[in-house]
Amino acid sequence: MKHILLLSTGGTIASRPGSDGLEPEMSGQELLSCLGDLRGRFQVEVQQIMNLDSSNIQAEEWKIMARSVYENLSGYDGFIITHGTDTMAYSASMLSFMLRGLQKPVVFTGSQIPMDNMLTDARNNLFCALAAVEAEIPGVSVAFNRHIIRGCRAVKVRTMGFDAFESVNARYLGEIFADGLRVYGGEPVDQQEKPELRDELSTDVFLLKLIPNTNPRLFDHLAEIGYRGVVLETFGAGGMHFHRRDLLEKLRMLEARGIVVVACSQCLYEPSNFTIYEVGRKLLEAGVIPAGDMTTEAAVTKLMWALGQETEPERVRELFLRNLAGEITE
C-alpha cells in the first residue's frame, strides 16, 4: 500500500462559485473524499498549504511547495500537489530544479472544471496522479487527461479542453489505456544520490516575446529597473532584428552589465538553432545563452533558479546549459 501526502494549493479543482466568479474554497480533505474509499490500496494524508487561484502563485508559494515535499520525503512513498492549471507548468518546472536528487514521485494535477461540478475532470486527473505514484515514476510530473508529463516539459495549450497540457519536445512518461497505465522509461535524469532542497532563486527575470519593430530602448529600462536576467522568445529557429532597430547593441549592453540573457524560440515544438542564420549567429556573438528545445516555462524558471544559485554570469551560464531534470535534449 502506497503512503501518499496530498498537498492542496487551491485552483479550479477546489473552486466554487463566488460573488466575483470561481474562487478556491474546497479543502484538500474535501477533494480526497470525492474519490470514494481508497483504503486497501492507498493511504492518503492531506496538508492544506494554501488555497489560491494559481494566477496568484509566485516565488514564495514555490518555496512553500518545495519545502513541504522535502521535509516529508522520508515519511511518504510519493506526493500529489493539487494546483490551478494556469501556472501549473511554471510550478512543476521550478520544483524540478529546487528538489535535487529526487527519487520519489511528486505529481501535480488539477482540473478544467471544479470538483463540485457533475461534468468535472477532477476525479479522473486525481486517479491519474495516484496511478503515477503507484507506478513509482520518480521526479516531478504533471498528471492530466490520462497522461503523465515530465514537469519541466509540460505546457498548458488549451483554455477549455480537457487535454489542456502537452508534453513538448519529449515523450510522455506514461499514458492510461483500457489495459492500464503504460510507463515509458521515466528513469530519473538527476543522478544525485542524496535528496537536497535548493530553493534559492531570483525573481528579477523578465520574459520578452519579440515582435517586428521591438523598440531597443526597452532593454535600457530593464537594466535600470534592476533585472538580473532576461528570457527572449525569438523568431523561428532563433533570430531578432538588427536592421534599422538594432537590438544587438542593447544585448551587448546587457552583457556588459552582467545581465544574463537566454534565448528560446516562439515556436512550441522543435529546438532553436542559432547557428543556421546570420541573425542567430549574431545573437550568440552577443553572449546570449541558447535554450535549445526547452519550454518557455522551463527557461524562465531555470534562469530564476540558476541566478539564485550563482552570482557570476559565467557560472550561471554553465549551470543553465546543464541538463538537470530532463528539461533539455542533450
Sheet containing 229-234: which strands, arranged edge to edge?
Answer: 205-209, 229-234, 260-265, 289-290
Whose grid coordinates read 494535477?
Answer: 109
DSSP string, 279-325: HHHHHHHTTPEE-TT--HHHHHHHHHHHHHH--SHHHHHHHHHS-SS
CA distance 260 to 227: 9
Q: How far is CA 188 from its chain centroid?
A: 17
**Residue 1, burial from CB neighbour count under 10 angstroms (0-12, 13-18, 19+):** exposed
CA distance 266 to 294: 11
β-strands 205-209, 174-177 pairing: unpaired
CA distance 302 to 95: 10
C-alpha grid cell, residue 250: 542593447
Active-site residue, from 12, 87, 120, 296 = 12
The answer to whether 286 touches 255, Cβ cutoff 8 Å, is: yes
Angle at the Cα of 143 from the Cα atoms of 10 and 67, rounded to 5 degrees: 55
CA distance 273 to 284: 10
Element (H, E) at 96: helix 88-98
The answer to whether 107 touches 78, Cβ cutoff 8 Å, is: yes
The answer to whether 6 touches 44, Cβ cutoff 8 Å, is: yes
The answer to whether 174 touches 145, Cβ cutoff 8 Å, is: no
Residue type, 328: I
Is 214 annotated as catalytic? Answer: no
The CA-based diameter of the chain, rounded to the nearest angstrom, is 69
Active-site amino acid positions: 12
